[in-house]
Amino acid sequence: MARMNRPAPVEVCYKNMRFLITHNPTNATLSTFIEDLKKYGATTVVRVCEVTYDKTPLEKDGITVMDLKKYGATTVVRVCEVTYDKTPLEKDGITVMDWPFDDGAPPPSKIVEDWLNLLKTKFCEDPGCCVAVHCVAGLGRAPVLVALALIESGMKYEDAIQFIRQKRRGAINSKQLMYLEKYRPKQRLRFKDPHNHKNKCCIM
């Protein structure tokens, strides 16, 4: 069976926020995933897909994988199915958050609220940190969450989409695009001192 080529992780930086958009790893590719997280200084992973990996290796490396109820210093957000065990990330000090929602769809309001609350906490406590977010391919659910963060920090939706697509070609489908066009920000991610930051990364 031929290996599927996946796009490389991309870093999106704006003001005092840093994001790493990536596809989901498997247990077989978890060590490479952890290397990428460390390369960008990511301590938080947001998983917005089904669980497809064991998080134990990430936990061993200090990367924490968390459920919605937990917020740690380092977080990964998964928005897709679980494809890996998050324990290795958590052992590595990286926190993994599991917030799955339907592929190709915009995020439910509860996930948007949790996402923005997480970012407000992370970027206030550690400006310039990097949050990693991944879905299956890193083209839909994960980029939409990053776009929401950019919009909430003051960027126009068209600019946010173009900004992300410059780095992640093919990101955000038409249904998600319509959602972002209609989204009304409340400026929840406006920060006072965008230049006072450290070189850390939170993965979504």
Catalytic residue numbers, as ranges: 103, 135
The strand ranges marked E within the chain are 10-14, 17-22, 42-55, 63-64, 76-86, 93-98, 130-134, 201-203
Residue 100 makes CB contacts below 8 A (sequence gap 6+) with 47, 48, 49, 50, 78, 79, 80, 81
d(CA 72, CA 43): 9
d(CA 197, CA 204): 19
Residue 159 CB burial class (10 angstroms; 0-12, 13-18, ≥19): middle
Using alpha carbons, select from 36, 42, 38, 39 the residue that is nearest to residue 23.
36
